[in-house]
């Protein structure tokens, strides 16, 4: 129940990856580095996030080994290396959880939209309407694992080079086509296509299955999907974005865009840019969430959090700084920041625990109660799909003919 | 328990996209909901089955250019369902059919390795090779592969996948927080594979899984398919049920495996099997007649014969004689998206005409006779006896069992036939192995240690 004085509730997700986002997190006393590739580890983490009533978890993935180098592998042996397929982790956890949204990462550069579409649709079936997808463009290092593409080698410093900029623009254009195909395939069966009409010997009404006939400059896909329309109709599509091209992709194609502001004003500027892109894409009437990503180290005092970060940095031999702001402090300080940034137009946050399980526990056991005390976070899950939790209606299939009043 | 008896391998499948599944039965449930798969898998595990099995089809079937609407249509994606099933089962193997033409080794090897990790060593892959342009229309490359190259690609795919699975030594991950050594080997995961189909290199992103490599199945009976299986598969999903045919296939595969230097018994043969039980033989026969007539109605009969005629037979009375036209095997395909075994259509039709003549079969009678076969019909005691005898006489090493009724059809098999197989000493009473490989009695993958890696 909201009263005029309570703030808008905010949405809260956590991003799970390995032992946490700090490269030395696996060395913490409560870390479980020998279990990173087990079902129990992932089940425990997601169950903890669910106990904290979070909106959803995301699971990182890539078709390459982790590396300190953008352009390829490294030879470090002192950081976590190796990951499991995120879609299958989410599927494995789905029957053991009930409410929390499950948003695995799947890349779009070397994969098949047909496969990704049916995998996420199936995750939506096994989770009874809690599936989403974080669409991710591949890094150049993944090319050699597939061997089917010309490779423009580049590093982060080369992003302004015209040939590199063109290659990057091309991969984002491809990503947009990919998302379009995935979404069309989710709509390719209307909701009531399965009729089981024994009288006419028809299992489906084939008029309610649709060829998507996507034809683009990079690929064509005919459809329909082999999987019926998933429970949510359209599982959530989410993207991480740091610049105009990915903002545009998010504004055109996604339901949630994760962004990495440095402060309140930066957050406002990013939200403004995404909203403008959203209008330009003709989607102003749709809900597009903008969540800020923050790496979090949470402790009883700011000093303790800073000390912990310093200790982890020393273990890793470098000061940790990623694409997102690193927050070190107390849960109450973080709650202040989240509410302040929320006023800049953000609708939620994706917190990246620096160390697991410590910072996940701090989110679910300290931050969430703090936000609840402030009336800014739910105190229980309501029944319903992940879309419903995020205020997104369940759309009709784009191919459905509106039921004519008089037919 | 006699030690000389072969232990029967049992797999369970959920019936789906074909005429065997009677979706119109009032008890028939969802073909999509997870609850269906959970029920069948847990039933199979209660019956101490070795594994649960899922088929795959990457394009909806069509007839005369229209989506075929009579059989079950649609199914969930294989690997996510198996991964979810790992959460609700403990011992059961999880084998998925996944195509080698429209996938890439790095991605699929990783998914299968993940399934093996998340199930504690229970993953298997049934390698299929559909390559047609019809299916290809759903994928980036379209129908890029020639028929003759389908097993070249599958063979290279499997070789590349093995390279990837073996690229992490058993002990590559130290995760020793005191010394700060996560990886024992700075090159863990390094691989390179070059062939006609693939030219790939780099580092594989997933550490070695509990089984090292998933169990490999193959389904296909062409000479190339047989060589592929004899050389690289642990088991074959076979279409042969007549004891003499099955024994010949069994001997042929063992001989091929032997020539390739694999020890006898390396390749398990597993025909699929459906069953109808009854309180008496007459009761079972009656139930069978009823089920078969529901599986193969008049329209389905025409459509099944079309798979050989390759002509529109909808104008022929199902209760009348066989179509008097010749088959048109070289014409444009009437139906798309059905896995078909290559054969001589003219010869097959001639055989059918002779059969129909002799038995006075109508079109539908013939379809029921040819396509309505249920492998095991009888009392539970009779069915158990026949299954056991078939295996002990080397017709196969077991069966992949399914029912016309989704999802509860397997229940009575587990309740009534399984205890009898256990009494005969041919089926485990409890699981003994930890991994699918161990339960199947397949040799473990030789362990690759960090020192053994070629630098
Ligand atoms: C028992 C059996 C089951 C099969 N199941 C599938 C399947 O689920 N999906 C698929 O795409 N192909 C399936 N196939 C087709 C084969 O993988 C293969 O594409 C086809 O049989 C051609 O191989 P061949 O020429 O060696 O016979 C199956 C074949 C057999 C014999």
- Looking at ligand 1, which atom is closest to the CA of residue B58? 11
Chain A residues in contact with B60 (beta carbon < 8 A) = 209, 224, 226
Q: Is B107 on the interface with A (CB under 8 A)?
A: yes
Closest residue by CA, ligand 1 atom 23: B220
Give residue B339 CA to ligand 1 midpoint distance, Å: 6
Annotate B307-355 with DSSP letters as a single string. Answer: HHH-S--TTS-TTSPPP-SPP-TTSSPSEES-------HHHHHHHHHHH
Confidence band, pLDDT 50/70/90 cuts, at residue B339: low
pLDDT exceeding 90 applies to what percent of chain B? 89
B44 lies in the same domain as B183 = yes
Q: In sequence order, what are the beta bridge partners of A11?
A: A348
Residue A315: how many other CB atoms lie within 10 Å: 18
B151 lies in the same domain as B118 = yes
Beta strands per DSSP E along A18-160: 56-59, 101-107, 132-136
Note the pLDDT of residue B213: 97
Tell me the CATH number of domain A11-140+230-389, given options 3.90.209.20, 3.30.360.10, 3.40.50.1820, 3.20.20.30.
3.20.20.30
Residue B221, in any domain of the structure: yes
Rg (CA), chain A: 22
Q: How many CA atoms lie within 13 A of B334 on its CB side?
A: 17
How far, in whole angstroms, is CA A249 from its chain's centroid?
Answer: 14
pLDDT digits (tens, 9 = 90+) for B148-172: 999 999 999 999 999 999 999 999 9
B364 lies in the same domain as B312 = yes
> Is the confidence at residue A191, as pLDDT, over 50?
yes
Mutate to test the interface with B, among A47, A106, A177, A203 (most CBs of B within 10 A): A203
Q: Is B144 on the interface with A (CB under 8 A)?
A: no
Q: Chain B: residue nearest A87 by CA?
A: B80
Q: How far apart are CA A18 and CA A38, in angstroms?
A: 11
Give residue A177 CA to ligand 1 midpoint distance, Å: 32
Residue B237, in any domain of the structure: yes
Lowest mean pLDDT among B71-75, B163-167, B248-252, B368-372: B368-372
Please count the residue pairs, one from chain A and one from chain B, whose beta carbons lie less than 8 angstroms apart: 219
Q: Taking the C-alpha atoms of B353, B357, B362 and B367 in order, what is their torsion angle to the nearest 10 degrees? A: -40
B67 lies in the same domain as B82 = yes
B233 lies in the same domain as B367 = no
pLDDT digits (tens, 9 = 90+) for A147-188: 988 777 788 888 888 988 998 899 999 999 999 999 999 999
B173 lies in the same domain as B320 = no
Residue B287, in any domain of the structure: no
Note the pLDDT of residue A95: 98
Rg (CA), chain B: 23
Pick B83's closest partner by Cβ from A92, A146, A203.
A92
B332 Cβ contact list (under 8 Å, min separation 6): none
B29 lies in the same domain as B134 = yes
How far, in whole angstroms, is CA A199 from its chain's centroid?
Answer: 45
Confidence band, pLDDT 50/70/90 cuts, at residue A294: very high
Contacts 24+ apart (CB under 8 A), B387-390: B387/B8, B387/B273, B387/B417, B387/B421, B388/B8, B388/B421, B388/B424, B388/B426, B390/B243, B390/B246
Give how far A3 is from chain B: nearest CA, Å.
40
| Phi, psi (deg, nearest 5) at residue B225 | -65, -40
State how far the alpha carbon of B135 is from the alpha carbons of A190, A206, A224, B130, B258, in Å: 21, 18, 11, 8, 35
Note the pLDDT of residue B16: 85
- Looking at ligand 1, which atom is closest to the CA of residue B239? 1
Q: How far apart are CA A203 and CA B27, in angstroms?
A: 15
Residue B261: how many other CB atoms lie within 10 Å: 8
What percentage of chain B's residues is helix, strand, coil (to nearest 5)? 40, 15, 45
Q: How many CA atoms lie within 13 A of B377 on its CB side?
A: 17
Give residue B308 CA to ligand 1 midpoint distance, Å: 17
A120 Cβ contact list (under 8 Å, min separation 6): A87, A106, A131, A132, A133, A182, A186, A230, A235
Domain count, chain B: 2
Q: How far apart are CA A82 and CA A66, in angstroms?
A: 7
Pick A84's closest partner by Cβ from B81, B114, B297.
B114
pLDDT digits (tens, 9 = 90+) for B6-15: 999 999 999 8
pLDDT digits (tens, 9 = 90+) for A214-249: 999 999 999 999 999 999 999 999 999 999 999 999
Mean pLDDT over the full length of chain B: 94
Give residue B161 CA to ligand 1 midpoint distance, Å: 20
State how far the alpha carbon of B200 is from the alpha carbons of B107, B125, B163, in Å: 12, 21, 11
Note the pLDDT of residue B454: 42
Tell me which of B313, B346, B371 is where a domain ends.
Answer: B371
pLDDT exceeding 70 applies to what percent of chain A? 97
Q: How far apart are CA B15 and CA B19, in angstroms?
A: 9
How far, in whole angstroms, is CA B325 from its chain's centroid?
Answer: 35
Strand A348-353 and strand A11-16: the pairing is parallel
- Rounded to an integer, the average pLDDT of A362-387 is 97
The H or E element containing residue A45 is: helix A39-51
Pick B189's closest partner by Cβ from A65, A114, A315.
A65
State how far the alpha carbon of A349 is from the alpha carbons of A97, A252, B188, B226, B265, in Å: 22, 20, 35, 55, 57
Closest residue by CA, ligand 1 atom 30: B219
- Rounded to an integer, the average pLDDT of A326-351 is 98
Domain extent listing, chain A: 11-140+230-389
Pick A224's closest partner by Cβ from B60, B81, B183.
B60
Lowest mean pLDDT among A50-54, A255-259, A274-278, B148-152: B148-152
Residues B74, A222: C-beta atoms closer than 8 Å: no
Q: Is B325 on the interface with A (CB under 8 A)?
A: no
Confidence band, pLDDT 50/70/90 cuts, at residue B1: very low
Q: Chain A: residue nearest B66 by CA?
A: A206
- Are B424 and B298 within 8 A, CB to CB? no
Region for A198 from its dihedrals, namely left if φ exceeds 0, alpha if ψ lies in -120 to 50, beta otherwise = alpha
Give how far A222 is from chain B: nearest CA, Å.
5
**Model confidence pTM above 0.95:** yes
By residue range, what is the domain housing residue B275? Answer: 9-279+374-453
| DSSP classification of residue A92 | H
Residues A115, B103: C-beta atoms closer than 8 Å: yes
Handedness of CA A298, A299, A305, A308 (dihedral sign): negative
The H or E element containing residue B237 is: strand B235-238
pLDDT digits (tens, 9 = 90+) for B307-331: 999 999 999 999 999 999 999 999 9
pLDDT digits (tens, 9 = 90+) for B220-249: 888 999 999 999 999 999 999 999 999 999
Lowest mean pLDDT among A67-76, A353-362, B283-292: A67-76
Note the pLDDT of residue A150: 76
Tell me which of B371, B397, B423 is where a domain ends.
Answer: B371
Q: How far apart are CA B297 and CA B335, in angstroms?
A: 18
Give residue B154 CA to ligand 1 midpoint distance, Å: 12
Mutate to test the interface with A, among B75, B84, B88, B450 (most CBs of A within 10 A): B84
Give residue B227 CA to ligand 1 midpoint distance, Å: 15
Chain A residues in contact with B206 (beta carbon < 8 A) = 37, 82-85
> Is the confidence at residue A29, as pLDDT, over 70?
yes
Note the pLDDT of residue A6: 57
Q: What is the CATH number of the domain that holds B253?
A: 3.20.20.30
Q: How far apart are CA A218 and CA B140, in angstroms?
A: 8
Confidence band, pLDDT 50/70/90 cuts, at residue B341: low
* Ligand 1 pocket, mutate which of B129, B134, B220, B223 (most atoms under 8 A from CB): B220
- Are B125 and B93 within 8 A, CB to CB? no
Chain B residues in contact with A26 (beta carbon < 8 A) = 175, 177, 182
| Phi, psi (deg, nearest 5) at residue B353 | -60, -45
| DSSP classification of residue A209 | B
Tell me which of B321, B345, B371 is where a domain ends.
Answer: B371
Mutate to test the interface with B, among A18, A125, A177, A199 (most CBs of B within 10 A): A125
B28 lies in the same domain as B137 = yes
> Is the confidence at residue B450, as pLDDT, over 70?
no
Give how far B344 is from chain A: nearest CA, Å.
30
B266 lies in the same domain as B189 = yes
- Are B304 and B371 within 8 A, CB to CB? yes
| DSSP classification of residue A165 | H
B303 lies in the same domain as B403 = no
> Is the confidence at residue A404, as pLDDT, over 70?
no
3 state SS of B124: strand
Q: How far apart are CA B187 and CA B165, in angstroms?
A: 14
Q: How far apart are CA A360 and CA B244, in angstroms?
A: 62
Residue A301: how many other CB atoms lie within 10 Å: 11
Q: Is B59 in the pocket of ligand 1 (CB under 6 A)?
A: no
Note the pLDDT of residue B342: 65
Residues A95, B140: C-beta atoms closer than 8 Å: no
Give how far B423 is from chain A: nearest CA, Å.
35
Note the pLDDT of residue A5: 52
Residue B131, in any domain of the structure: yes
Give residue B112 CA to ligand 1 midpoint distance, Å: 20
- Rounded to an integer, the average pLDDT of A268-292 is 97
Pick B81's closest partner by Cβ from A34, A122, A196.
A122
B92 lies in the same domain as B129 = yes
Q: Is B139 on the interface with A (CB under 8 A)?
A: yes
Q: Is B57 in the pocket of ligand 1 (CB under 6 A)?
A: yes
Q: Is B220 in the pocket of ligand 1 (CB under 6 A)?
A: yes
Give how far B422 is from chain A: nearest CA, Å.
31
pLDDT digits (tens, 9 = 90+) for B87-119: 999 999 999 999 999 999 999 999 999 999 999
Note the pLDDT of residue B343: 78
Give how far A345 is from chain B: nearest CA, Å.
36
Mutate to test the interface with A, among B82, B191, B202 (most CBs of A within 10 A): B202
Give residue B129 CA to ligand 1 midpoint distance, Å: 7
Residue B291, in any domain of the structure: no
| DSSP classification of residue A367 | I
Q: How far apart are CA A130 and CA A94, in angstroms?
A: 8
- Are B353 and B325 within 8 A, CB to CB? no
- Are B428 and B47 within 8 A, CB to CB? no
Q: How far apart are CA A51 and CA A44, in angstroms?
A: 10
């Amino acid at each position: 129940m909201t009263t005029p004085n309570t703030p808008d509730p905010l949405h809260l997700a956590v991003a799970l990856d390995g032992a946490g986002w700090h490269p030395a997190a696996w060395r913490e006393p409560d870390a479980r580095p020998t279990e990173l590739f087990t079902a129990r580890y992932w089940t425990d983490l997601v169950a903890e996030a669910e106990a904290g009533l979070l909106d959803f978890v995301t699971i990182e993935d890539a078709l390459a080994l982790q590396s300190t180098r953008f352009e390829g592998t490294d030879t470090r042996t002192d950081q976590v290396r190796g990951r499991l397929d995120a879609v299958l982790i989410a599927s494995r956890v789905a029957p053991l959880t009930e409410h929390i949204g499950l948003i695995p990462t799947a890349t779009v550069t070397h994969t098949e939209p047909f496969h990704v579409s049916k995998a996420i649709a199936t995750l939506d079936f096994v989770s009874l309407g809690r599936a989403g997808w974080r669409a991710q463009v591949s890094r150049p290092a993944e090319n050699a694992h597939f061997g089917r593409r010309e490779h423009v080698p580049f590093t982060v410093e080369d992003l302004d080079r015209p040939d590199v900029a063109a290659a990057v623009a091309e991969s984002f254009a491809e990503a947009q086509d990919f998302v379009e195909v995935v979404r069309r395939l989710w709509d390719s069966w209307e909701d009531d296509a399965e009729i089981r009409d024994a009288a006419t010997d028809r299992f489906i009404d084939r008029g309610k299955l649709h060829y998507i006939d996507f034809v683009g400059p990079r690929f064509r896909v005919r459809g329909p999907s082999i999987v019926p329309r998933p429970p949510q109709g359209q599982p959530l599509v989410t993207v991480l974005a740091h610049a105009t091209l990915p903002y545009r992709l998010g504004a055109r194609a996604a339901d949630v865009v994760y962004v990495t502001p440095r402060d309140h004003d930066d957050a406002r500027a990013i939200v403004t840019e995404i909203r403008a892109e959203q209008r330009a894409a003709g989607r102003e009437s749709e809900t597009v969430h903008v969540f800020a990503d923050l790496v979090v180290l949470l402790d009883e005092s700011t000093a303790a959090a800073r000390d912990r970060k310093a200790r982890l940095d020393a273990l890793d031999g470098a000061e940790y700084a990623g694409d997102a702001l690193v927050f070190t402090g107390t849960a109450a300080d973080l709650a202040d920041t989240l509410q302040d940034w929320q006023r800049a137009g953000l609708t939620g946050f994706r917190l990246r625990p620096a160390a697991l399980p410590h910072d996940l526990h701090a989110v679910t056991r300290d931050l969430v109660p703090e936000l609840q005390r402030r009336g800014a976070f739910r105190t229980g899950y309501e029944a319903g799909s992940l879309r419903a939790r995020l205020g997104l209606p369940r759309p009709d299939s784009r191919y459905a003919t509106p039921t004519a009043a008089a037919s | 328990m006699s030690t000389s008896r072969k232990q029967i391998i049992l797999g369970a499948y959920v019936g789906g996209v074909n005429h065997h599944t009677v979706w119109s039965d009032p008890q028939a449930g969802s073909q999509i909901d997870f609850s269906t798969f959970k029920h069948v898998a847990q039933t199979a595990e209660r019956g101490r089955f070795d594994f649960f099995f899922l088929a795959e089809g990457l394009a909806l079937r069509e007839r005369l250019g229209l989506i075929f609407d009579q059989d079950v249509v649609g199914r969930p994606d294989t690997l996510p369902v198996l991964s979810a099933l790992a959460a609700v089962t403990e011992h059961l193997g999880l084998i998925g059919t996944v195509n080698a033409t429209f996938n890439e080794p790095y991605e699929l090897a990783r998914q299968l390795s993940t399934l093996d990790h998340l199930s504690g060593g229970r993953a298997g892959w049934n390698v299929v090779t559909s390559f047609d342009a019809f299916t290809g229309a759903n994928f980036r490359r379209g129908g890029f592969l020639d028929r003759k190259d389908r097993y070249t690609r599958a063979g290279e795919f499997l070789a590349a996948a093995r390279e990837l699975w073996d690229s992490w030594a058993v002990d590559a991950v130290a995760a020793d927080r005191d010394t700060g050594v996560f990886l024992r080997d700075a090159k863990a995961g390094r691989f390179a594979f070059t062939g006609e189909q693939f030219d790939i290199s780099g580092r594989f992103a997933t550490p070695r899984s509990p089984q090292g490599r998933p169990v490999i199945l193959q389904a296909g009976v062409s000479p190339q398919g047989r060589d592929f299986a004899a050389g690289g598969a642990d088991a074959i999903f076979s279409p042969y049920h007549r004891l003499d045919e099955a024994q010949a296939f069994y001997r042929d595969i063992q001989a091929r495996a032997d020539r390739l230097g694999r020890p006898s018994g390396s390749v398990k043969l597993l025909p699929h099997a459906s069953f109808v039980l009854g309180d008496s033989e007459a009761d079972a026969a009656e139930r069978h007649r009823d089920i078969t007539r529901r599986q193969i109605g008049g329209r389905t009969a025409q459509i099944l014969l079309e798979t050989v005629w390759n002509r529109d037979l909808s104008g022929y009375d199902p209760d009348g004689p066989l179509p008097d036209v010749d088959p048109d095997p070289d014409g444009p395909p009437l139906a798309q998206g059905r896995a078909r075994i290559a054969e001589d259509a003219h010869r097959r039709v001639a055989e059918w005409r002779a059969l129909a003549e002799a038995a006075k079969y109508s079109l539908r009678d013939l379809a029921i006779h040819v396509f309505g076969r249920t492998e095991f019909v009888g009392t539970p005691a009779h069915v158990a006896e026949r299954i056991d005898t078939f295996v002990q006489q080397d017709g196969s090493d077991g069966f992949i069992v399914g029912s016309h009724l989704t999802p509860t059809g397997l229940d009575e098999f587990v309740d009534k036939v399984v205890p009898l197989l256990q009494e005969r000493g041919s089926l485990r009473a409890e699981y003994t192995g930890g991994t699918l490989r161990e339960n199947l009695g397949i040799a473990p993958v030789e362990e690759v240690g960090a020192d053994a890696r070629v630098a």
